Structure 1
Amino acid sequence: MTTLGTRPKRGGAVPPGPPPWAAPALYRLLVTDRLTLLGDAAARYGDAVRMTIGPKAIYLFNHPDHAKHVLADNVANYRKGIGLEEARRVIGDGLLTSHGEVWRRQRRTIQPLFQNKRLARQDAVIAEEAGRLVERLRARAGGGPVDLAGEMTGLALGVLGRTLLDADLGAYASIGHAFEGVQDQAMFEMVTLRKVPLWLPLPLHLRFRRSRRELHRIADSLVAHRLRNSTDGEDLLSRLIDSTRHLPDARDRLREEIITVLLAGHETTASTLSWAFHLLDRHPEVRERLRDEAVSVLGDRPPTYQDLPRLTYTAMVLEEVMRLYPPVWALTRVALGEDEIGGFRVPAGADVMISPYTLHRHPAYWREPDRFLPERFAPDAPADRPRYAYIPFGAGPRFCVGNHLGMMEAVFVLAMITRELRLTGVPGCRAVPEAMLSLRIRGGLPMTVGLA
């Protein structure tokens, strides 16, 4: 932690932070290892840190009360910040980045799709998609490595297409690569403070343009297919078409909202499942207990919505996975007006960050915070943590609308695969976290498949 300097004395209402001469080291970490940057800052300076990197000052707040203030109590004073602001080049004013009445309209359009009654009717679809994945993996048993992260992406897109869009996203094999191009560009613009013109013919910029064109093509194709094939009008794609058709820039708004749904609807679930199988490989005792629960509850049948309360340990495992590797590792905001958080002054226009990754490892609220211990989330475990110490789905009005669907999908997949198969990491391959728009595994997750 030497790169961040020494702990300064607290004085006035300005949060402590690294001295000016640490800026080059901070910038290097911003580019290469954003999680270490945040973790080191919180460990050295405490729950409120001000980091100056070039012309930008980032205010990191790492206390449950701070998270509650920014995300819920004073939410009107904050709009989406760094990272997502850069992603606007492709997702525009989609649900992830929009504000005010635009966001409220989008939320009203999407919310009914995630009511429990409707989710309960999707259980067979999710189980079917998970069953297809099990069979694909079973066919690779005893063979060479499989990129499990890629398989999880394909699964999540398949579920998303059938449950929300009434569409077969398997026909769009380029979605995953296109989103990689978008995320790489967003992170590049974040670390370069948007100082590199997009018109320069850099390989990254050219890839981004191709990715953006491909995502626009996919969105247009999904709309054209829906308009040619009438449905009951209750799927998300139909609702998005209806909610934007009156807007003067309807085509652009519809594209942005579809692309946002495609990104948010698969990226976080695929990330969580990838990390889950990595951790199960490293903790065989947890894997065996999870398999025993799946066999006991399900036997040899597919899971149903009614099984969710009985797959208790499976849910505990997933909650602990999201504690260690929250798919949304940072919630960034910009302060619209001056504010005070935890006794520290936040000026108008400041970049504010709440990081679930660091908050979920706060030693004041988590015993042995770096250990994988699903028992933390047992139903009878002491409830001695503040509500906002654990926020894998965000918090406040912008709490993830798809959290229940994502959890049902993850529980089903984890139970069905663990019941049938044994996934083993490839020796010498490390699972390195990559903090992009979501917390994914850098370079994928190669694993070999065996029978359970």
Structure 2
Amino acid sequence: MTVGSDEARAARTAPPGPPRRATFRLLKQLFTDRLALMGDNAGTYGDVVRIAIGPKAMYLVNHPDLAKHVLADNAANYHKGIGLQEARRALGDGLLTSDGETWKKQRRTIQPVFQPKRISRQAAVVASEVDDLIKRLAAHDGPVEILHEMTGLTLGVLGKTLLDAELGGYETLGHSFEAVQDQAMFEAVTLSMVPQWVPLKKQLEFRTARDDLRRIADELVEQRLADPVENGEDVLSRLIASGSEQGASRERMRDELITLLLAGHETTASTLGWAFHLIDEHPEVGERLHAEAIEVLGDRLPEHEDLRRLTFTVAVVEEVMRLYPPVWLLPRIAQADDEIGGYHVPAGSDVVVVPYTLHRHPDFWTDPERFDPGRFDAANPAGRPPRYAYIPFGAGPRFCIGNSLGVMEAVFVLAMAARDLELRKVAGKVVEPEAMLSLRVRGGLPMTVHRRDRTRRANAA
């Protein structure tokens, strides 16, 4: 079924989907290969698919017009769904998991921190953090775990740009957030049928991680209360001020802070991991990145204005997020009956918009599996697909609040890394996606670091 077909269809017709006899196969994919579950069914049944697994039915939406309907035009009818509901155990009612008036108040509190002018003023901080990263990488003799390094970088940037705090001492943050994602996805795929008191390894690790995140959030709030910033524009200061004005509890501040720590680092770290993998697979892209960095930056650190000049680097980031959108699934729950693409969707249904499949839709992308930064050539804006065919940061009212900071950080990292280094995957490393709350590289990404001669390489290019 595609948009606009068969207008005479009865409004209460259910979408097509796999038969009941496919339940075992669907369950297996739900546990082991969620990307294939979405991609296979979208390819077989079309742009609206009903996937019934046991007592649950999930409605897969895979067309720009239909994504716009769910995420923007009728967004009030769709609250947060699968995965995010389960993550609420650790994240509480933070910006990522809340809905309605609670979400609106939270968004108003934090929004000023992400204003373009303020983010542009953070460019020097981001560039300095990236410079420290490049120096650390250059000092390595053996393989380095790139995802670990990217997590450390993004947490450091988040602390200094958004919280006016130093997060370098909280080395457990990355591991704790990984345990939260593992547990949230486990509960989602098991339909929360495994009691939380069962002492499974994942459950035990989750409890430890949740306690660790709460401790860190409480410490950050206490530190700011003890040493307040006059007229502070950072998130911590705004949360404390807002809490005082609205009578919000310390628990609510903790929820917001934990959510920001997760969302603020995980998506950018995942994008950078995929970028280094794809650049290693396509060395000609690495050479173009190197040449552009030499031409635009020379020996200096990047500035915010350079984002307009690092056009190929920006295109690489955009193409990486097309193939491997960090938020690969946008889950919603319908609050009232709706009609999507001519099909009836009952109230209470799980509705999922999947950027991973939407970004590969053959009607909107030529050779969609191919890595081609040229798709995002700034000189050819007419070549871009419809707006809602590309939604790496979501869409509608819940469009990612931190997109500008994330893109600036990713562009600075790729430009500075390409200028000074070559990163190559360790021989034999098989790179596979792992679809959790974010789309990360399964099992890490060990790479070897090789220093470049800037002048020789630039002249050769």
Kept after mapping to 1: 8 A contact 2:242/2:248? no
- The letter for the 2-side match of 1:373 is D
Determine if the alignment matches structure 1 residue 130 to structure 2 residue 122.
no
Task: Give the aligned partner of residue 373 of structure 1.
Answer: 372
Paired residues for 1:60-209 under 5 Å = 60-140=60-140, 143-209=141-207
- The letter for the 2-side match of 1:40 is D
Determine if the alignment matches structure 1 residue 351 to structure 2 residue 350.
yes
Can you list the C-alpha shifts for 1:339-367, whole angstroms capped at 9, x where unaligned? 00111110000000000000000000000
- Matches of 1:70 and 1:378, distance apart in 2: 29
TM score, norm. by length of structure 2: 0.94
Can you list the C-alpha shifts for 1:385-426, whole angstroms capped at 9, x where unaligned? 211000000000100011001111111111001100000011
- Matches of 1:342 and 1:91, distance apart in 2: 34
Task: Give the aligned partner of residue 457 of structure 2.
Answer: none
Paired residues for 1:400-419 under 5 Å = 400-419=400-419
Determine if the alignment matches structure 1 residue 436 to structure 2 residue 421.
no
- Matches of 2:384 and 2:167, distance apart in 1: 43
- Matches of 1:217 and 1:435, distance apart in 2: 28
- Matches of 2:264 and 2:186, distance apart in 1: 23
- The letter for the 2-side match of 1:170 is G
- Matches of 1:246 and 1:230, distance apart in 2: 16
Can you list the C-alpha shifts for 1:72-117, whole angstroms capped at 9, x where unaligned? 0000111000010000001111001111111111111111111121
TM score, norm. by length of structure 1: 0.96
- Matches of 2:137 and 2:383, distance apart in 1: 39
- The letter for the 2-side match of 1:354 is V
Kept after mapping to 1: 8 A contact 2:375/2:384? no
Secondary structure in structure 1 of the residue aligned to 2:352 = strand
Moved more, 242-251 or 421-430: 242-251
Structure 1 384/201 Cα, relative in aligned 2: closer, same or farther at 3 Å? closer
CA shift for structure 1 position 246? 5.2
Kept after mapping to 1: 8 A contact 2:51/2:59? yes
- Matches of 1:82 and 1:60, distance apart in 2: 12
CA shift for structure 1 position 247? 5.5
- Matches of 1:158 and 1:38, distance apart in 2: 34
Secondary structure in structure 2 of the residue aligned to 1:171 = coil
Determine if the alignment matches structure 1 residue 296 to structure 2 residue 295.
yes
- The letter for the 2-side match of 1:207 is E
- Matches of 1:248 and 1:135, distance apart in 2: 45
Secondary structure in structure 2 of the residue aligned to 1:327 = coil
Kept after mapping to 1: 8 A contact 2:375/2:383? no
Task: Give the aligned partner of residue 265 of structure 1.
Answer: 264
CA shift for structure 1 position 383? 3.4
Secondary structure in structure 2 of the residue aligned to 1:245 = helix
- The letter for the 1-side match of 2:149 is E
- Matches of 2:248 and 2:208, distance apart in 1: 22
- Matches of 1:247 and 1:108, distance apart in 2: 13
- Matches of 2:307 and 2:62, distance apart in 1: 32
- Matches of 1:384 and 1:145, distance apart in 2: 38
Secondary structure in structure 2 of the residue aligned to 1:413 = helix
- Matches of 2:73 and 2:26, distance apart in 1: 31
- The letter for the 1-side match of 2:177 is F
Aligned sequence identity (%)? 64
CA shift for structure 1 position 224? 0.9
Paired residues for 1:214-363 under 5 Å = 214-232=212-230, 233-245=232-244, 250-363=249-362
- The letter for the 1-side match of 2:274 is W
- Matches of 1:148 and 1:384, distance apart in 2: 31
- The letter for the 1-side match of 2:336 is G
- Matches of 2:242 and 2:330, distance apart in 1: 27
Task: Give the aligned partner of residue 392 of structure 1.
Answer: 392
Which aligned runs of 4 or more in structure 1 are off by greater than 3 angstroms? Answer: 245-249
Kept after mapping to 1: 8 A contact 2:270/2:439? yes
Aligned residues: 441
Secondary structure in structure 2 of the residue aligned to 1:169 = coil
- Matches of 1:134 and 1:301, distance apart in 2: 13
